[in-house]
Amino acid sequence: MADVSGRYLDALRDVYDPCCREKGISVVDMGLVRSVLVQDGHARVELLLTSGWCPFAARVLNDVHDRIAALPEVADAQVDVVWDEAWTTDRLSPSAARKLNFLPAPALISDRDAYVMAHTKEADGDR
Amino acid sequence: MIGDAFVFDGVAHLFNFDAKNPLGRPGEMFSQHIYAFHQALTPAGETVLPPEEFLRQWTVEDIRRMVYDESDTDMLCAMPLPLTDLYKDGLSPWEECAELASRDPDRTVFWGSVNPLEGRKALDLMERQVGEFGAKAFKFYNVRYDYGSPFPWRMDDPRVAFPVFEKAQQLGVNLIGVHKGVPLGPQPIEHTQTWDMDGAAANFPDINFVIFHVGLPFLDEVCWQLIRHPNLYASLAATINFVVRAPRMFAETLGKLLFWCGEDKIVYGSETPIWHPQWALKAFWEFEIPQDIIDGYGYPQLTEQAKRKILGENLLRLHGMDVEETKQRLGRAQSH
């Protein structure tokens, strides 16, 4: 059955894209896992990439595959990158969103220039 | 021209993928990565070359045919690869790029390239590339493999980077590109990130820096940098090739760049011969950001004015060329 919230996700909570490892943000917190379907011992995982240029796609695919394949009820596992949906910051977990300085969707701010001014000052103040 | 847009292609390489060229396994991996990009992003209906036809030495005539005979491109930057630690000849030797530019002196612009870690030797070569071969800009690569292991340098390093920037300015060159993001071969990711661009841009406000590949996957970081530094620009080279295979992802990237950085800060590049230039050019000219992305996120539409700027006008300005005069002189009617 499909499961994106239960034990299959738990199995992936310490799998990291190397870009996010030092920030402690797993592939689950990044929202890279779209679905996990396990049926008759066969597991299929769908992953979204934050960028088509993700240089570690192959490594993440391998790590996810190995972790899911290690579950006792899984005989074989398949991991696919899906392209019919774009990863967006909406997929970040609350903790990941706090750690990353992503730009908000324009629709969520009333004034681009005011936002830039406020956050540029904030960034300069941090330095 | 495509439609009424003058097309100035920011990058083609004269790759030498001959099997004897790599110096070792990292070079072989680099070649395989580039071939994988060709395979993965060339859309259905276009020619995907088998390895034996792609992994070969590309010639000046190949590039001229693809860019000028088989696409609606009006001008081109011939760009070397100085990866002399991965390949015997650096993979795209600067001498051959200068030769490519010399074949169409009005249309093809030679960009020089050196390894700043070579100190005085690099500075001397910059003089030669500008003085004897007419280099109008330089392109740099931050990860080297000297002595068999990754040997990175930063764009904000006063000892390594600043001398080459100062030399460029002495030579009258104020345009510098840098490969960012997209690690190829076994490159350490941290040195293809863009954190060093603030220091480069702030210390050299009279040099315009182009961050190639939009620094992907570090898009938000690049946006913040382009917002804050007027002399930073982003090249869609290679990124534009997602336009057919992953149009929604491309729309997200472009929408974010257009909203936060503006249409004046984005330039085009084809990466010929990794991909044939015409299909992405045509798809980009016809591309619209899907309405639900505009409605949902508030990104602006990719207008024809923005397309004209991205495809050519911005890069003409960065080369100090008059847009209208050059369009009149070199613009060719669309024929593909």
Please tell me the distance from the alpha carbon of residue B335 to that of residue B248, in angstroms, as a whole number: 28
Q: In the predicted model, is pLDDT for residue B295 greater than 90?
A: yes
Helix axes B219-228, A112-126, angle to 10 degrees: 90
Give the containing element (helix H, strand E) for A33.
Answer: strand A33-39
Is pLDDT larger for residue A50 or for residue B311?
B311
Q: Are B165 and B200 in contact (CB under 8 A)?
A: yes
Nearest CA in chain B to A108: B297
The share of chain B scoring above pLDDT 90, in percent, equals 82
Please tell me the distance from the alpha carbon of residue B256 to that of residue B251, in angstroms, as a whole number: 8
Please tell me the distance from the alpha carbon of residue B11 to that of residue B94, in angstroms, as a whole number: 13
Please tell me the distance from the alpha carbon of residue B220 to that of residue B70, in angstroms, as a whole number: 35
Give the containing element (helix H, strand E) for B278.
Answer: helix B277-286
Angle at the Cα of B145 (from B143 to B146), degrees rounded to 5?
Answer: 120
Q: What is the mean pLDDT of each run of 10 residues along chain A (127 residues)?
A: 69 87 88 92 92 74 94 94 85 87 85 87 53
Structure confidence at residue B189 (pLDDT): 72
Identify the CA nearest to B81 among candidates B107, B59, B111, B39. Answer: B111
The count of CB pairs under 8 A between chains A and B is: 72
Residue A73, token pair as written in the block: 């009820």
pLDDT for B144-168, tens place per residue? Answer: 766 666 788 999 999 999 999 999 9
Please tell me the distance from the alpha carbon of residue B55 to that of residue B19, in angstroms, as a whole number: 8
How far, in Å, are A25, A91, B216, B270 from residue A19 at the CA level? 9, 17, 12, 27
Angle at the Cα of B115 (from B110 to B118), degrees rounded to 5?
Answer: 135
The share of chain B scoring above pLDDT 70, in percent, equals 97
Structure confidence at residue A55 (pLDDT): 64
Residue B184 CB coordination number (10 Å): 20
Distance from CA of A55 to the nearest CA of B (A): 6
Residues of A with CB under 8 A from a CB of B: 18-19, 50-56, 83-88, 100-103, 105-108, 112, 116, 120, 123
Structure confidence at residue A127 (pLDDT): 43
> What's the pTM?
0.86
> Does B228 contact chain A (CB < 8 Å)?
yes
- The per-residue pLDDT of chain B, averaged, comes to 94
Cβ neighbours of A56 in B, within 8 Å: 189
Please tell me the distance from the alpha carbon of residue B31 to that of residue B54, in angstroms, as a whole number: 10
